[in-house]
């Protein structure tokens, strides 16, 4: 049931929140750590988005329905180690693709084809 809740509708989680639980609900909905959203909210205030952040938070605190934190307990939240391993795999795959592109761009085949296109 928890996965169904997080996939279909955005809720606020007052039990996990500091003020009203809006950021905790957003974190569950997006699948990111709550601390990350809190840091982003504080940074948005410092970068001139104070009114937007405040108004959005107030509106969401009244529009979103509250839900108990126990609804989200069954979620399979990835551990930080798993997240780092997945990021490492993605970076290695990206590096391999970049190397292939670099190999092609520096090859004679690319040079010959580009010269033919210029003709």
Q: What pLDDT is attached to residue 36?
A: 86
Q: What pLDDT is attached to residue 6?
A: 43
Global pTM exceeds 0.85: no
| Model confidence at 80: pLDDT above 80 | no
| Model confidence at 75: pLDDT above 70 | no
The span from the CA of 103 to the CA of 95, in Å, is 12
Q: What pLDDT is attached to residue 95?
A: 93
| b/e per residue 28-65 (b: at least 16 CB within 10 A) | bbeeeebeebeeebeeeeeeeeeeebeeeeeebbeebe
Q: 5 or 95, which is more confident?
A: 95
18-70: pLDDT as tens digits: 788 888 888 878 878 888 888 888 888 888 888 888 888 888 888 887 777 66
Q: To the nearest whole percent, how much of the chain has pLDDT over 90?
A: 9
What residue ranges do the domains of the chain occupy? 1-77, 79-119
| Model confidence at 77: pLDDT above 50 | yes
């Amino acid at each position: 049931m928890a996965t169904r809740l997080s996939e279909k509708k955005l809720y606020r989680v007052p039990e996990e929140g500091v003020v009203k639980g809006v950021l905790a609900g957003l974190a569950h909905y997006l699948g990111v750590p709550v601390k990350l959203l809190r840091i982003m909210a504080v940074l948005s205030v410092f970068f001139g988005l104070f009114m937007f952040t405040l108004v959005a938070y107030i509106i969401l605190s009244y529009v979103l329905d509250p839900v108990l934190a126990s609804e989200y307990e069954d979620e399979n939240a990835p551990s930080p180690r798993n997240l780092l391993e997945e990021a490492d795999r993605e970076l290695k795959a990206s590096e391999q693709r970049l190397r292939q592109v670099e190999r092609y761009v520096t090859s004679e085949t690319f040079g010959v084809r580009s010269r033919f296109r210029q003709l």
